[in-house]
Amino acid sequence: MLKEAKIKKICKRFGNDRTRMMDIVREIQQEFGYVPPKYYDLIAREANTHRVEVQSVVSFYTFLSDRKKGKIIIRLCEDIIDKMAGADEVAAAFERELGIAFGETTDDGKFSLEWTACIGMSDQAPAALANDTVLTNLTPEKVPEIIQALKKKADPQVLVTECGDGNNADQLIQTMVQNNICERGEVLLGDYDLEAGLRKAIEKTPEEVIEDVKNSGLRGRGGAGFLVGLKWEFTRNAPGEDKYILCNADEGEPGTFKDRVLLTERPDLVFEGMTVAAFAIGAQTGIVYLRAEYAYLRAFLEDVLNRRRAAGLLGNNICGKDGFNFDIRIQMGAGAYICGEESSLISSCEGMRGDPSDRPPFPAIAGYRVAPTAVNNVESYCCATRVMDKGADWFSGIGTEKSAGTKLLSVCGDCERPGIYELPFGVTVNELLKKVGAEDAAAMQVGGPSGQMINPSQFDRAISFEDLPTGGSIMVFNKQRDLLEVVEAFMEFFAEEDCGYCVPCRVGNVLLLNRLKQIRNGKGVTEDMDYLEKLGKATKRMSRCGLGQTSPNPILSTLENFRPIYTEVVRDNTSGLQKSFDVLEAMEQANEVTGRQSVLFHA
């Protein structure tokens, strides 16, 4: 078939709908290995939009490309936890084996090597994606075998010789990923009755359901901790016929992998929670925004959805309730951390770049397709299902006064037992460290790079919204680690992942990173700490969305909690000359062009 015809067919499959641009270009990429720029006009015409819309989507997302890449793209996770576990050595082995550097494609067009941000496998690092297949616990020794196998058969799935535990071994998943569930709590990972929550919910009125969720004290699990019941109430009361339920499964915060485990082991709880929300709010359409890194879960999740449709738990007249119609589709992401921010997530679901939007109006008033939309985290929906089954009082009886229930924590880094821990809110850092086997920890990053780094004198603090909030990411560092290196890695991440829309974030993060690098290179002066603090605070205050409002945290929290790591390396500037400026280096190009040396400065 002609390429044009193929593209037309793909566009048609998605209703020639420009709001499905993500799906359209993803399919085209799957078909051709990239999205050929010469077809941008055609795609735009077929999808009733403009060329620039197509181009901006393709250029925005890391997993989309306008250049032909290898048949197999190996994306190695560059997260600091993976680096600590030896990702650099693994990278060198890949480069050696394939004879190309990262960012390049082999001449035969078979392989590309790329770095990528956290892929949600920090408990089994170093990890990589070979197309959609996850490779965990990599070592330089394993690399030659991997490449040999892939050269023999260009299907990364051949690398999965042994499946992980639980549903990871399901016929539709077949991955080497391990759940590493180390502690089950009573809300999420303990035993539960399928459908019980939903069936109890539809016995009530939508208002009563919302009242229950409010009374349970359930707060959003993505990190910000907004009251879920209140959000549902706003969405229900917002004017509009069509309302939407969105599930944020774009867990991109480095070190977070708890939604991965929920989607693997508790998909019904997630979908049931969304259905409960739909009932409460009066929505007919639900979307799960699944990050591209978890594409290996897609077939399995689609199957669960089909099963639920067949059982009358999705579709028309759900559970026999007349007029209760609701269905869920899965929207694949394409590798953009910013899409975990709810307004960016909505932009992405609408087939655009993942740019955040101004608030107000909040999504509850004008979200997806400018209609009232409830966006909640995977874990929040699971909790809501359980609240419906066991009651608000049961839920609010767990945890602390202002943080009800349990929290799913994903722990990684320097500890004996990295993995998933479901613990009641209020657990102290010391208790957690004991469980994970890291009593000698020197620092803990709570809430991922956008959270804060705390020192041992703060280990008696409690994981909760009122003290130490976290979306789930817990990274442990021992005293051998160079914390400035960690901070730099986090800032690199933000500088890479910011969407580029607003100046404070786009420029601020890069300036912060540059100054940090200077300090690490021994060119720092005492005033630099002041500079970092002022610029960091300005970036936080002036940025448009949650990314820039939290991205300086690695620097600001270490300046506060680990000041010596800075004071040890900066020096007083007594001469007034900037150490970071090297005049001889600045003249190197001129030396080459003119063929002479400086009379003033070359001694």
- If one asks whether residue 360 binds another protein (CB under 8 A), the answer comes out as no
Count of residues that interact with another protein, criterion CB under 8 A:
25
Q: Which range, of 81-89, 261-269, 545-553, 594-602, touches another protein by CB under 8 A?
A: 594-602
Instruction: Tell me: cis bond preceding 360? Omega within 30 of 0 counts.
Output: yes
d(CA 342, CA 375): 7
Beta strands in 36-127 (DSSP E): 72-77, 111-116
358 backbone φψ class: left, alpha, beta (φ>0; ψ -120 to 50): beta
Task: Give strand pairing partners of 446.
Answer: 452, 474
> Closest CB to another protein among 102 and 531?
531
d(CA 240, CA 235): 9
Inter-residue contact 365 to 331 (CB < 8 Å)? no
Inter-residue contact 235 to 244 (CB < 8 Å)? no
Q: Which range, of 23-31, 196-204, 417-425, 576-584, touches another protein by CB under 8 A?
A: 576-584
Q: According to CB under 8 A, which residues from 430 to 489 bind another protein?
A: none
Q: Which range, of 395-403, 421-429, 563-571, 592-600, touches another protein by CB under 8 A?
A: 592-600
- If one asks whether residue 588 binds another protein (CB under 8 A), the answer comes out as yes
Candidates 139, 157, 567, 598; binder of another protein (CB under 8 A) is: 598
Instruction: Give alpha helix (H) positions in 336-465.
Output: 342-349, 363-366, 378-390, 392-396, 429-436
- If one asks whether residue 572 binds another protein (CB under 8 A), the answer comes out as no
d(CA 19, CA 349): 7
- If one asks whether residue 575 binds another protein (CB under 8 A), the answer comes out as yes
Q: Which range, of 110-118, 208-216, 428-436, 575-583, touches another protein by CB under 8 A?
A: 575-583
What's the 3-state SS for 530-543? HHHHHHHHHHHHHC
Task: Give strand pairing partners of 406.
Answer: 424
- If one asks whether residue 237 binds another protein (CB under 8 A), the answer comes out as no
Q: According to CB under 8 A, which residues from 523 to 562 bind another protein?
A: 527
- If one asks whether residue 593 binds another protein (CB under 8 A), the answer comes out as yes
Candidates 1, 2, 577, 603; binder of another protein (CB under 8 A) is: 577
At closest approach, how far in Å is the CB of 521 from another protein? Answer: 15
Q: Which range, of 263-271, 356-364, 472-480, 568-576, touches another protein by CB under 8 A?
A: 568-576
Candidates 1, 2, 5, 599; binder of another protein (CB under 8 A) is: 599
Q: Which residues contact 53 (CB under 8 A, 6 or more apart)?
A: 18, 21, 44, 351, 352
d(CA 502, CA 492): 18
Q: Which range, of 139-147, 426-434, 452-460, 570-578, touches another protein by CB under 8 A?
A: 570-578
- How many Cβ atoms from other residues are within 10 Å of residue 537's Cβ? 12
At closest approach, how far in Å is the CB of 571 from another protein? Answer: 13
> Closest CB to another protein among 1 and 577?
577
- If one asks whether residue 107 binds another protein (CB under 8 A), the answer comes out as no
Residue closest to 470 by CA, chosen among 401, 404, 410, 554: 410
- If one asks whether residue 165 binds another protein (CB under 8 A), the answer comes out as no
Instruction: Tell me: cis bond preceding 156? Omega within 30 of 0 counts.
Output: no
At closest approach, how far in Å is the CB of 586 from another protein? Answer: 4
Residue closest to 286 by CA, chosen among 325, 252, 317, 323: 325
- If one asks whether residue 601 binds another protein (CB under 8 A), the answer comes out as yes
- If one asks whether residue 1 binds another protein (CB under 8 A), the answer comes out as no
Q: Which range, of 291-299, 437-445, 487-495, 591-599, touches another protein by CB under 8 A?
A: 591-599
**Single-letter residue type at 341:** E
> Closest CB to another protein among 171 and 589?
589
**Single-letter residue type at 223:** G
Q: Which residues bind another protein (CB under 8 A)?
A: 527, 573, 575-578, 580-581, 583, 585-596, 598-601
